[in-house]
Amino acid sequence: MRMLTLTVLLACTGVETNPNTITKSDIQTAVPKKDIKTICTALKSSDEDLQQFATEQLRIFEPEQTKDCLKEGLVDSDSKAFRLGVLEGLKGEKRNAVARVAAELIQDTSLVGRAEAIHHLGGVPAPAVNAALMKIAENGSDASDVRAVAIRAVGGYTDNFDSTAALFDDGDAEVKAAVVDMLGLHTEEKGARKLIKEALPHEDENVRAAAMKAYRAHAGDRAEEVLCTAMMDDTSPKVRAAAIAALEKTKSVSAIRCLRKRAMTLEEDRDVRAAILRSLKLAEGNAERPAFTAMCDAIPFWLRSYTTDKLPEEDPGTDIVKMQNDYDHEYSEKCFAKAYAQKSQYSCHGHKYIAWFYKQMISNEDLYVPECEETAAP
């Protein structure tokens, strides 16, 4: 009896439930009971998955019943940061009455984590959210990264094309790069291709990099000449990698010839080298066999050029030997034999690596695999 009295007393004195003690099961129990208070309290949990689940359950109820608690739950009152789980729980919401709270809060520049919050809101198709994010995109006094995320969140929608294209002349390069990204999605708009072509020689590397992918989306195989020139000659590794990546899943044999030349040309940047291998391995149709042949033929050059003081396995993403074996295993023995025959041209590490692979391939325990001195740590 005393315990029951204490429980009633606590309830009557308004003692708040600790949000972190609420479980998913508690929320499931609360829904049929229409216990909105318990669900609202769960929005403040430190567990983002629980925040998301609670938000999704709140959407079952009428907006008038939940808008106040949703507003309170969206932002942590202490840190002034958005609760990303709550935003994720709004994904797919089309009703303004529900989403308007988030649309209004996202305008507050004093809140923490707006860029990431906007990224999440991109999945909320309510008109109020779309309007709010376009307003941020167009606000020249807002932070560049925040505007860029807003553009990428809603700039791809057909109805937003004119507003997005109008931002192409914005003087902020980060904003312009985001606009070019989105113009790449508007392949049905002739005006988009014109703007993308203008961006190709832009002085900012991020704008040029965005233009590579966007131009390929619009011009298809006709973009090859521009992409091949950029991957060979652009001074920015980011742009070279973007031009190469734009040819992923190509079915064009001429594009593979370009990638082959790039693979056989010295490249100091590992991200660019990784992009070369990725585009070769993802070739499709008539381009697939020439792509794998190019990868095989490039192995000796890569072992001579890049396997000088360490093994490729210490530099993931640029291991051409392993990638050839993983994606074109049928031809690996012939490919490795050709590379192994040139072992005298490699460093000790290059010799060791191809010898080890070739030894496993032909099951020859007598094949010599050298031991190499460890490279001193920098």
A 10 A CB-CB count for 285 gives 11
Residues 6+ apart with CB under 8 A from 181: 151, 152, 155, 210, 213, 214
Q: Do residues 132 and 110 touch, judged by C-beta distance below 8 A?
A: no
Cut 0.85: pTM above it? yes
Q: Which pLDDT value is given to residue 105?
A: 96
Segment 31-58, tens digit of pLDDT: 999 999 999 999 999 999 999 999 999 9
Q: Which pLDDT value is given to residue 316?
A: 66
Burial state string for 38-68 with b = 16 or more CB within 10 A and e = fewer than 16: bbbbbbbbebeebbbbbbbbbbeeebeebee
Q: Domain residue spans in the chain? A: 22-154, 247-371
Phi, psi dihedrals of residue 112, rounded to the nearest 5°: -90, 140
Token code pair at residue 86? 């709550």
Segment 308-363, tens digit of pLDDT: 888 876 676 789 999 999 999 999 999 999 999 999 999 999 999 999 999 999 99
A 10 A CB-CB count for 313 gives 10
**Cα separation, 244 vs 259, whole angstroms:** 7
Angle at 151 between CA 149 and CA 156, to 5 degrees: 125
Q: Which pLDDT value is given to residue 16?
A: 67
Q: Which pLDDT value is given to residue 8?
A: 37
Four-residue CA torsion sign, 332, 338, 341, 346: negative
Q: Do residues 178 and 148 touch, judged by C-beta distance below 8 A?
A: yes
Helix (H, G, I), strand (E, B) or coil at 254: helix
Residues 6+ apart with CB under 8 A from 354: 299, 303, 321, 336, 339, 340, 343, 346
**Cα separation, 125 vs 118, whole angstroms:** 12
**Intervals of the chain under pLDDT 50:** 1-15, 376-378
CA-based R_g, the chain, Å: 28
